[in-house]
Structure 1
Amino acid sequence: MYFAALLARTEDGWEASDTELDDVETLDDLADLADLAREATADDDETVLVLLEQEGIWYGVIRIDGEDDPRVFVSNAAGAARSAYGEILLTPELLGQEPEDDSALDSLTDLDGTEDGEPDPAGGSGADAGADPDAPPGTPAGPVGDTELLEDLGVSEKQLLALQSDAVNEIADMLGAADVLEAVR
């Protein structure tokens, strides 16, 4: 089960609204949703957070400040990669991958010199050793993105990384926005 909400910071505290992601296909589409939420506030430079979770599997936080590029954190890239909504957040840049300009030769050989799918003589399976077998190749099994995106709002990197289930509610609670989030849940 998925849940997504927008939190917009205002002079009076946080305002929350739930959001449908049916028409969202890219990170830019999410940023456009945040812009709509920001229009409801008095200041176009206010912080807007998009909180997204797939219950018990992964959560994501997207932060948009004014005209800045969105900052993104995903708790479990491999789990999110198997999700239609998670794929929106897992851009090549977030995953530390090159844009899809790779030559055919580069895609045939892993960095360790083995061909894709060829066992690594050291016992692994090439560059994807230890990766989630159900996730797309090159997707890390753990968190990715900006782990410090909520530091100035009172949620430390350590706290963000320690969250497991019910992460969206815990983040809202740490931000002082639990009541407004609960109202839209």
Structure 2
Amino acid sequence: MYFAALLARTEDGWEASDMELDDVESLTDLTDLARDAAVDEDTVVAFIEQEGGWFGVVRVDGEDDPRIFVSQASLAARSSYGSMLTDELLGSDADDDNELDELDLDGTEDGEEEVAASYDEDEDDGAPGTGADRAPAGPLGDPDLLADLGVSRRQLLALEVDALGELAEALGATDVLEAVR
């Protein structure tokens, strides 16, 4: 079972809305939903959680490319909505021009300790793999996507149980998120 919600930043704080995933088939669909929920093209954060197994965060700022973080990529890659996120982050052999090239796929920056596994190209047998085959066992994407909103890389990477509740608390949006939960 999935829980999905959108948090749109406004002058007065955050507005939450339940996100219906039935019509979401791609990251583009999800991004369009987020942009539709935006107030004056301000930040919108989409949360997707699958029964405590994994969570994903997609941040959309105006017309900028979305920024993505997935807590447990290998688990997410085995689910329909999680695979949508992990496939986008990992790219595909058919689409080497990934729109999200600026993302730091292994979750590290130069000089930082590695915090997430990445796909080992040496193990590639030449056959196209699925996202589940290539997804690391840990986090994937941009762990700094909420840093300017009060959730540090370290905090995001440490989240496990009730991650969305803790994220909402850190953003000051607990009440509005609980209202749609």
**TM-score, normalization: structure 1?**
0.78
Change beyond 3 A, Cα 1:67–1:135:
closer
Report the CA distance between 1:136 and its aligned residue.
2.5
Change beyond 3 A, Cα 1:135–1:89:
closer
Which residue in 2 is equivalent to 1:25? 25
Unaligned runs of 5+ in 2: 97-120
Report the CA distance between 1:98 and its aligned residue.
5.0
Q: Does 1:68 pair with 2:38?
A: no
Unaligned runs of 5+ in 1: 103-109, 118-127, 129-133
- SS for the counterpart of 1:14 is strand
Q: What amino acid maps onto 2:169 in structure 1?
A: D
- SS for the counterpart of 2:175 is helix
Q: What amino acid maps onto 1:3 in structure 2?
A: F
Report the CA distance between 1:35 and its aligned residue.
1.3
Larger Rg: 1
1:58 to 54, 62, 69: 54
Q: What amino acid maps onto 2:4 in structure 1?
A: A
- Determine if contact 1:79/1:135 at 8 Å carries over to the other structure: no
Which residue in 2 is equivalent to 1:164? 160
- SS for the counterpart of 1:90 is helix
Change beyond 3 A, Cα 1:101–1:17:
closer
Q: Does 1:111 pair with 2:122?
A: yes
Q: What amino acid maps onto 1:7 in structure 2?
A: L
1:140 to 116, 136, 141: 136
- Structure 1 CA distance for aligned equivalents of residues 21 and 164 of structure 2: 16
- SS for the counterpart of 1:73 is strand
- SS for the counterpart of 2:75 is helix
- SS for the counterpart of 1:35 is helix
Percentage identity across paired residues of the two chains: 62
**TM-score, normalization: structure 2?**
0.79
Which residue in 1 is equivalent to 2:94? 100
Change beyond 3 A, Cα 1:85–1:49:
same
The CA deviation string for residues 23-63 of structure 1, in whole angstroms up to 9 with x for no partner, is 1011010011011101xx2x12x000001100121000000
Give the number of aligned pairs: 156
- Determine if contact 2:45/2:59 at 8 Å carries over to the other structure: yes
